[in-house]
Amino acid sequence: MSYVKTSMDGPVCIVTMDRPERMNAISGPLLDDLHDALQRANDDDACRVIVLTGAGRAFCAGDDLKEFGEQSASDASIRSHIERIQRITRDLMFNAKPVVGAVHGFAVGGGFEWMLNCDIVVASDDLVAFFPEMEWGQFVTGGVTQLLPQSVGHQRAMELWLLGERQSAQSLLAMGLVNRVVPRDAMLDTAMRLAARIATRSGKSIARLKRLVTAELTDTLARSLELEFAATIEAFADPDAAVRVQAFATRKEQAR
């Protein structure tokens, strides 16, 4: 069973996270399927632009807390999980194809990070995004310790992380973290129209643009990913964090 679907619409490859029963929460199989899909899209000459979206009620609800015990069972499992999450960031940011995010519902934790890794973001007006990691005793990754302060400034970035408050599509637009806000039923069509326009541009020039834009980030972002990797390993292995995650997961299930 694949947790990611792909389809082509002319020169646009639509990559859809497809685990709707868990709001596309991050699991090992989803990470592997998403990496494979993004790599195939980046290697396919017929694909000029990638649209990344999610099936069902959410873009991506972050880590699947039901799998936390398995993910944190050993140093090897922790490292494998974090490496695979960061691999998606590299797939999105350090390949030649532009990525348009079509983001709706919830973009939480890792889902918020992947949204920030996209080149352009079309948000549905029902989007809610936030970082719960500090409440859980976990840590952010996706290079956002480098990317977010550059986008919104140090104090606003710290507020987003430390308080973990839910951000609406309009607040994200005001911060410059999404490019368009549209009704839910217009989100994918809007993203596809933008992607189709981008696809008419020179693929070689776009590849050069992504290479040069990320060139200045490469060293600092790579360093940020290394530091985030180390911090996330510490967080996953922290017994206090395990208690916090379990308490949050229990409250979430009781609220269903």
CATH code for the domain in which residue 59 is found: 3.90.226.10
Look at residue 51 and tell me whether its pLDDT is greater than 70.
Answer: yes
Tell me the average pLDDT across 222-233. 90
- Please give the tally of structural domains in the chain: 1
- pLDDT of 96-115, one tens digit each? 999 999 999 999 999 999 99
235 lies in some domain:
no
| C-alpha angle 62-159-176 in degrees, rounded to nearest 5 | 75
206 lies in some domain:
no
The chain-wide mean pLDDT, for the chain, equals 92
Look at residue 242 and tell me whether its pLDDT is greater than 80.
Answer: no
Task: Please tell me which residue in 21, 83, 113, 253 is annotated as part of the active site.
Answer: 113
64 lies in some domain:
yes
Residue 152: partners with Cβ closer than 8 Å, 6 or more residues away: 160, 175, 176, 177
207 lies in some domain:
no
Give the Cα separation of 157 and 177 in Å (integer).
Answer: 11
Look at residue 254 and tell me whether its pLDDT is greater than 70.
Answer: no
113 given a catalytic annotation: yes
Task: Please tell me which residue in 21, 67, 70, 133 is annotated as part of the active site.
Answer: 133
Look at residue 58 and tell me whether its pLDDT is greater than 70.
Answer: yes
198 lies in some domain:
no
210 lies in some domain:
no
The sheet carrying 106-108 orders its strands as 106-108, 128-130, 167-168
212 lies in some domain:
no
133 given a catalytic annotation: yes
Q: Token pair of 7, please?
A: 């389809």
Q: Token pair of 16, please?
A: 């859809």
120 lies in some domain:
yes
Domain containing 72 equals 4-185
